[in-house]
Structure 1
Amino acid sequence: MGTVALAVTDGMLHFELSVAYEVFGSAPAAVAGPWYDVAVCGSDAVRVGRFRVEPDGGLDRLRRADTVIVPALADVDEEPPADLVDAVRAAHEAGARVASLCTGAFVLAAAGLLDGKRATTHWAHTEALADRYPRVEVDPDVLYVDNGSVLTSAGKAAAMDLCLHLVRLDHGSSMANVVARRLVVPPHRAGGQAQFVTTPVPARTGHPLSALLPWVMERLDEPLTVEDLARRAGMSPRNLGRQFRAVTGTTPLQWLLTQRIRHAQELLENSDDTVDAIAAATGMGTATTLRRHFNRTVGVPPDTYRRTFRAGTGAGTRPRTGIGTGIGTA
């Protein structure tokens, strides 16, 4: 956590810059300890979209930051500015965590930070990124990729997902959920979720599942089946499956499993319950079942996850990138 430097240059897009500033620059009321110290860094006053932005300091400040965020570039046909590329590379060499939002990945690639690594960017520019930087393993089908000290996101809404992911790593999922609720967005979408899949729990109301989903969320400890959900919704199982696909982008069982895993994560972070008790509270039945699904979904066992995210430390072994860590309402 600590200092977050937003690296800006002429021709960046205002949406991604604004997203990063809003997430890291405004401490939630629930924060008891320190939040992020945010600085906008650039060589001079820059044009971001139609706005003129006056940086807090020069690009040399990136080397003193704990986290460097590179927002999106409007024109990816041009090479990124050399001074920006050099500053981002120097910041990473100095130990900063570097994250790009959308086409900001072109800056990281130009700096050599993505060589031999998996990365993503907006789906419309993944081919260009792969062609220009063949040493980068470009994945066009994910929302974001976390390589530890180097992270990349897809476009627009995925930039928010990556920023919340960073908050989650630094402060835990409960605090990330607080930030997400303030912004009225889902608290966590798995990085490996396809860029074109709709959010599994929609924020809007009035859809055919608007009454069913909250009912299920209150009963995650129960051994619910598709037939139970269909009966509650007054639909046939086949029709329920069609509605789930249309509204959430996934199947009833997969959606239910995601909610159980997410609830298990929250209990691991915020309670002293045993794995057996959490398995019962999340409808998994046994600790063995919970461990199997949790490890396959999150990428680490429940006990390792608890040590990693307990009290929002963000330290230790981190969950596997791009695998579902739960999707919920804003």
Structure 2
Amino acid sequence: MHSVALVVYPNFQPLSLSIGSVFECANLLRGEPAYAFHLVSEHGGAVMSSQGFSVNTTPMRAEGYDTLIVSGYLDFRLPEASLPALVKAASVHSRRVVSLCMGVFVLAEAGLLDDKRITTHWLHAPTLRKRYPHLQLEEDRLYVVDGNLWTCAGMSASLDVALALVESDLGHDLARQVARKLVIVQRRGSEQSQLSALLELDPRSDRIQLALAYARENLRDDLSVEALAAVARLSPRQFSRVFREETGRTPAKAIEALRVEAARALMETSRHPVEVIARETGFGDRERLRQAFLRAFGQPPQALQKRLATP
């Protein structure tokens, strides 16, 4: 059985607790226990979260765990010196060490990140880089795996990391079932950017939001201005004007961004050839997909596939 320990400390961000549901569902769907989940802290007992409620914990054990996960803060602060020392001692006997969001600072203070590729929340990346200039920071990545070290971005990315851990342990099919059980719309891979295309567009009106939501769910269909205007119940001319006012982009550029994001996610989570990915995401053929990737990333989709295929 895999022992998984989530390390919390005073003022930890409680969204990190949600990863326990991933391992709980893995046990449920597998039909037998695969994970033993532990909520631990430096001294054990009640630990207060940043939202004012406390959780009961057991003392972190020096002999380590199969997977040791360090939760994060909401705002920047350095941990007490005793915590990184304890995490470092436990990491020696743990198969994997994971940081959630600003938990990376605990690992950095423990000296566990030297010569490792890492990531953290984009907002705190400049502080991390300034304090630890020797680290190999990849700040736009959702999560990064380097050997037995896993680091991830903001707190919602903890679910993506937990699903990736389950996939590594128990296979793709079970991880997919867990995601469906938790009603996670899209399993995001490590290469995915921390900022989604929909979040960057951020329209104000319900009608434009409705049109973008429709587009996101129907990327293979006709997503012309006329089609989207009909969804938004506006004339094509009105729709184009309002869309650009609210998002700063033309509808065509926005739809391309959504399709590129979906294509990149498919490359990370499947082994489909480029032709299939182009068809599934509405590009139609590999040349249109290639041109879109060159505009978005400065490299063709084959370059991403090659990087993903490299151990």
2:18–2:159: 8 Å Cα contact kept in structure 1?
yes
- Structure 1 position 6 matched with structure 2 position 9: no
Whole-Å separation in 2 of the counterparts to 1:127 and 1:134? 10
- Structure 1 position 235 matched with structure 2 position 236: yes
Amino acid at match of 2:2: G
1:71 equivalent in structure 2? 71
1:131 equivalent in structure 2? 130
- Structure 1 position 85 matched with structure 2 position 88: no
Whole-Å separation in 1 of the counterparts to 2:287 and 2:193? 26
User: Structure 2 vs 1, CA of residues 182 and 288 (structure 1 numbering), >3 Å: closer, same or farther?
Assistant: same
User: Structure 2 vs 1, CA of residues 75 and 157 (structure 1 numbering), >3 Å: closer, same or farther?
Assistant: closer
TM-score, with normalisation over the residues of structure 2?
0.68
1:76 is displaced (CA, Å) by 5.3
1:103 equivalent in structure 2? 102
The structure 2 residue matched to 1:259, chosen from 259, 262, 268, is: 262
Amino acid at match of 2:61: L
Q: Structure 2: give runs of 5+ residues left out of the alignment.
A: 294-298
Paired residue secondary structure (1:4): strand
User: Structure 2 vs 1, CA of residues 245 and 77 (structure 1 numbering), >3 Å: closer, same or farther?
Assistant: same
Whole-Å separation in 2 of the counterparts to 1:161 and 1:76? 23
Whole-Å separation in 1 of the counterparts to 2:182 and 2:116? 31
Whole-Å separation in 2 of the counterparts to 1:297 and 1:34? 39
2:197–2:257: 8 Å Cα contact kept in structure 1?
no
Whole-Å separation in 2 of the counterparts to 1:4 and 1:244? 42
TM-score, with normalisation over the residues of structure 1?
0.64
User: Structure 2 vs 1, CA of residues 213 and 121 (structure 1 numbering), >3 Å: closer, same or farther?
Assistant: closer
1:45 is displaced (CA, Å) by 2.0
What RMSD in Å do the two structures reach over aligned CA positions?
Answer: 4.5
Amino acid at match of 1:115: D
User: Structure 2 vs 1, CA of residues 197 and 114 (structure 1 numbering), >3 Å: closer, same or farther?
Assistant: farther
Whole-Å separation in 2 of the counterparts to 1:201 and 1:36? 39
Amino acid at match of 1:23: V
User: Structure 2 vs 1, CA of residues 11 and 260 (structure 1 numbering), >3 Å: closer, same or farther?
Assistant: same
Paired residue secondary structure (1:72): coil
User: Structure 2 vs 1, CA of residues 229 and 60 (structure 1 numbering), >3 Å: closer, same or farther?
Assistant: farther
Q: Structure 1: give runs of 5+ residues left out of the alignment.
A: 306-316, 319-330
1:69 is displaced (CA, Å) by 0.5
Paired residue secondary structure (1:3): strand
User: Structure 2 vs 1, CA of residues 16 and 213 (structure 1 numbering), >3 Å: closer, same or farther?
Assistant: closer
Task: List per-residue Cα deviations over 1:177-197 (Å, max 9, x = no partner).
Answer: 544454455433455524587
1:100 is displaced (CA, Å) by 0.7
Whole-Å separation in 2 of the counterparts to 1:231 and 1:75? 41
1:158 is displaced (CA, Å) by 3.4
> Which residues in structure 2 correspond to 1:17-32 (within 5 Å)?
17-27=16-26, 30-31=29-30
Amino acid at match of 2:21: E
Higher relative contact order (CA 8 A, sep 6+): 1
1:114 is displaced (CA, Å) by 1.5
Task: Kindly indicate which of the two structures has a greater share of residues assigned to helix.
Answer: 2
1:107 is displaced (CA, Å) by 1.2
Task: List per-residue Cα deviations over 1:57-85 (Å, max 9, x = no partner).
Answer: 532242x41x2110114785444343x42
Whole-Å separation in 1 of the counterparts to 2:213 and 2:243? 12
User: What percentage of residue pairs aligned between the two structures are identical?
Assistant: 27
The structure 2 residue matched to 1:54, chosen from 52, 57, 62, is: 57
Amino acid at match of 2:144: V
Paired residue secondary structure (1:105): helix
Give the length in aligned residue pairs. Answer: 291
Whole-Å separation in 2 of the counterparts to 1:129 and 1:217? 37
Paired residue secondary structure (1:116): coil
Amino acid at match of 1:259: A
Whole-Å separation in 2 of the counterparts to 1:28 and 1:208? 41
Whole-Å separation in 1 of the counterparts to 2:137 and 2:269? 32
Amino acid at match of 1:235: P
1:213 is displaced (CA, Å) by 4.3
1:113 is displaced (CA, Å) by 1.8
Whole-Å separation in 2 of the counterparts to 1:22 and 1:172? 17
Whole-Å separation in 2 of the counterparts to 1:80 and 1:215? 47
2:4–2:38: 8 Å Cα contact kept in structure 1?
yes
